[in-house]
Chains A and B, each alone.
Chain A
Amino acid sequence: MKSLILRIAARNLLPLFLIISVVVLLRGHSAPGGGFIGGLLAAAGFILYAIGFDVKAARQKLNFNAVNLIGAGLLLSLLSGLLSIYRGAPFSTIEFFTLKIASNVSYAISTPLFFDIGVFLVVVGVLLTVVFSLMEEQ
């Protein structure tokens, strides 16, 4: 499918999809949203790009091996759970930190955030692995 409209739409929508996916991922901490749906959105952007151009171009755009994304996501989720064992609590207990950027600017960060980012990466990786390999075979 080499439609010009689709190409231009895909090229311009991809950054939009990625920004929205990150917004959805971050607001998932205390409102509807989260890593799973965010990952779906991000993957949808790349899939649209692959339909508009081809899989090879989409893979170049992604710049990572999709399988490595799954691995990295799982690793991040696993580590976010292991941290609490290091602190003496059962596996996957929520731990809170404050990240001080300047003397008056600080962010509250908790381990579920990293777990969710891991989920995000896994969903993107799984979807793109499956869809890309299906599209390449045709």
Chain B
Amino acid sequence: MDIILAFLIGLLYAAGIYSMLRRSFIKLVIGLLLLSQATNLLIFTAGGLTRAVAPLVPDGEKIPPALSADPLPQALILTAIVISFGVLAFMLVLLHRSHQTIGSDDLDKMKGTDE
């Protein structure tokens, strides 16, 4: 399972970076999104995959069952998802606004601040 996920993560990173290198702004946004998904999956895999129950504390007990999954990677991913959700919303607004002011989706036309 780890191997499959490792390849999947690699594939997502590759796809993300490939999209980012394209000239279109919308593909750049998609690339960043893929990159953040790859990262989330990496945290999930690196945190250790176990076949176990959810770490919910049963009624009347103080600790979760002995064989339960590590909740921390999932908490980290949840936070990262929320943050990337906010960032994505911002990127979409920026995409929309920049299309209005610059009138193009082509990143090569946005070199005005580089010279």
Question: A residues touching B (Cβ–Cβ < 8 Å)?
Answer: 36, 126-127, 130, 133-134, 137
The range of chain B's interface size is: under 10
Cα-based distance from A127 to B92 in the complex (angstroms): 13
Interface of A is mostly: helix
Question: Does B82 contact A130, Cβ atoms closer than 8 Å?
Answer: no
Are A134 and B86 touching (Cβ within 8 A)? no
Residue of B nearest to A31 (CB): B56
Which residues of B does A touch, CB under 8 Å? 82, 86, 89-90, 92-93, 96, 100
CB distance from B87 to the nearest CB of A (A): 12
Can you list 12 A-B pairs, Cβ within 8 angstroms, ordered by A? A126-B86, A126-B89, A127-B89, A130-B89, A130-B90, A130-B92, A130-B93, A133-B93, A134-B92, A134-B93, A137-B96, A137-B100
Is the Cβ of A134 less than 8 Å from the Cβ of B96? yes
Query: Closest CB-CB distance, B56 to chain A, in whole Å?
Result: 9
The residue in chain A whose Cβ has the minimal distance to the Cβ of B89 is A130
Leading 7 A-B pairs by shortest Cβ distance: A130-B89, A134-B93, A134-B96, A130-B93, A36-B82, A137-B96, A126-B86
Q: How far is the CA of A130 from the CA of B87 in the complex (A)?
A: 11
